Amino acid sequence: MFKLSMKKIIFLLLISAFFISCNSEILPKPKSYLKLQYPKTTYNELNADCPFLIEISNYATVDIQENCWMSINYPTMNAKVHITYRKVDNNLMEILKEIEKLTFEHTVKADAIPDARPYEDFNKKVYAKLYNIEGNVATNIQFRVTDSINHVLAGALYFYAKPNYDSIMPAVKYIENDIIHLVETLNWK
């Protein structure tokens, strides 16, 4: 029978370990994030007892209050778009300044707030601005829509999770398309 001394066994184990460990360098794996893919959206008209008509995603639900304030809920994304309606009573500039002030309160935590993206439809009297707020903030999108005479809608997107801008960016972009569609299809009554 073949006998090996303890020194030879240790020597063979060390040589084996050396050759096995020389394959490649081991690096730590970076944090992984889910690749989120969303279905193509279709829209339904929301005809509430409010002074406006809008279209919302068929993947969202809506809670409407008496004063036409509403929450558009995205339960699968743990997100809501809060919308407030205000009747203009010779105070349009005051309302718009208040909305803009709420938007720029996020500069403390935001990485950047690029210039607002305007939208104008002169035929329907729909004038809007959309703000993207970059960084780990409470709301990544805020917008306002007015007819410049009687009505103002203001909205903000909230995720009910700890802010991590890189992780929620696909969901922000998905809901941003829904917000843009809402603004473009808005009709005042």
Q: For residue 24, what pLDDT is reported?
A: 63
Q: How many Å apart are CA 122 and CA 42, to the nearest integer? A: 26
Segment 90-117, tens digit of pLDDT = 999 999 999 989 888 877 778 888 888 9
Collapsed DSSP state (helix, strand, coil) of residue 63: strand
Q: Which CATH architecture is the domain 43-188 placed in?
A: 3-Layer(aba) Sandwich (3.40)
Strands (E), the chain: 43-46, 52-57, 61-64, 70-74, 79-87, 117-121, 126-132, 139-146, 151-159, 187-188
Segment 5-24, tens digit of pLDDT = 777 778 777 777 766 665 56
Q: For residue 1, what pLDDT is reported?
A: 45
Helices then strands, each counted (H, E), the chain = 3, 10
In the predicted structure, residue 180 carries a pLDDT above the cut 90: yes
As a whole number, mean pLDDT of residues 26-48 equals: 80
Domain boundaries, the chain: 43-188
Mean pLDDT lowest among 2-16, 46-60, 121-135, 169-183: 2-16
Q: For residue 36, what pLDDT is reported?
A: 65
Q: How many Å apart are CA 98 and CA 103, to the nearest integer? A: 9
Average pLDDT for the chain: 88
As a whole number, mean pLDDT of residues 128-138 equals: 91
